[in-house]
């Protein structure tokens, strides 16, 4: 119930919704908190996912992503574009790569699955941040540190918010050397039914080989594979 609620629930709401005796609710919550499957929101003191539950969820998604047709779809996309392709999600205020297939070019951006990157200056990060429900997006915008990594990094919150609005309208996100000098990125959401996307698929390429406009030429293919990826979730 905690994970399916739009807003973090209280013990009283859980008791009411699940029709449980209050002592039973308190006992179960206490056990889940001790096991680190749940924890209290530091501000509202309501119940949210614990670190252990988050690690378990990420491990499940990462393992599932690497298995069978999902990984082969990513490999096929990499071969068709000639570039590095990856899938990521938001985890504890950062973006975590769940799977990644490197290009065969000597000049490439090398990071392993499981690596984490910032949200505010990467194609995957900006894309997923832009599509969060408004309250969650504002919470992240108010708390993440807008570290400057290159001259292109957006460190002004108003400018970042405007770019996130553009991303929602356009349906894709571009990283124009905002995280690493010489590295471009293009990301689109993996459809998630009527809910907001929790996964995104992206291409990363060196700017020595591609311009942002050339990278955008892969957009139809990237969207095609995002739709295929969605069939397995």
Region of poorest pLDDT, from 60-69, 98-107, 115-124: 60-69
CA distance 181 to 121: 12
Q: How far is CA 207 from the centre of its chain?
A: 23
Chain position carrying tokens 């003191």:
45
Q: Helix 11-18 crosses helix 22-34 at what angle (to 10 degrees)?
A: 120
CA distance 82 to 190: 21
For 152-203, how does the pLDDT look when each residue is reduced to its tens digit (9 = 90+)? Answer: 999 999 999 999 999 999 999 999 999 999 999 999 999 988 889 999 999 9
How much of the chain exceeds pLDDT 70, in percent? 91
Higher pLDDT, 45 or 23: 23
Which long-range contacts does 193-199 make (Cβ < 8 Å, 24+ apart)? 196/131, 196/132, 196/133, 197/127, 197/128, 197/131, 198/89, 198/90, 198/128, 199/61, 199/87, 199/88, 199/89, 199/98, 199/229, 199/233
DSSP state of 175: E
Region 122-141: mean pLDDT is: 92
Residue 109 has pLDDT above 60, yes or no: no
CA distance 204 to 108: 8
Region 63-87: mean pLDDT is: 83
CA distance 58 to 80: 28
Q: Report all structural domains of the chain as residue ranges with CATH numbers, in order of start.
A: 11-49 (no CATH), 53-230 (3.30.450.40)
CA distance 120 to 152: 12
pTM comes to 0.74
Region 71-98: mean pLDDT is: 89
């Amino acid at each position: 119930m905690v994970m399916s609620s739009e807003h973090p629930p209280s013990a009283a709401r859980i008791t009411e919704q699940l029709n449980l005796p209050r002592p039973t609710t308190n006992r179960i919550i206490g056990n889940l908190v001790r096991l680190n499957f749940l924890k209290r929101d530091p501000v509202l003191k309501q119940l949210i996912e614990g670190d252990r539950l988050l690690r378990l969820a990420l491990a499940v998604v990462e393992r599932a992503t690497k298995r069978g047709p999902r990984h082969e779809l990513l490999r096929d996309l990499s071969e068709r574009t000639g570039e590095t392709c990856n899938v990521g999600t938001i985890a504890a205020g950062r973006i975590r790569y769940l799977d990644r297939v490197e290009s065969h070019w000597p000049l490439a951006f090398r990071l392993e699955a499981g690596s984490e990157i910032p949200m505010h200056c990467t194609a995957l990060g900006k894309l997923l941040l832009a599509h969060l429900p408004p309250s969650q997006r504002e919470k992240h915008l108010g708390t993440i540190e807008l570290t400057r990594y290159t001259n292109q990094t957006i460190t002004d919150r108003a400018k970042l918010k405007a770019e996130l609005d553009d991303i929602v309208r356009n349906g894709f996100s571009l990283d124009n050397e905002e995280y690493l000098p010489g590295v471009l990125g293009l990301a689109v959401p993996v459809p998630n039914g009527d809910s907001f996307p929790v996964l995104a698929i992206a291409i990363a390429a060196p700017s020595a080989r591609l311009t942002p406009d050339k990278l955008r030429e892969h957009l139809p293919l990237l969207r095609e594979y995002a739709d295929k990826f969605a069939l397995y979730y």
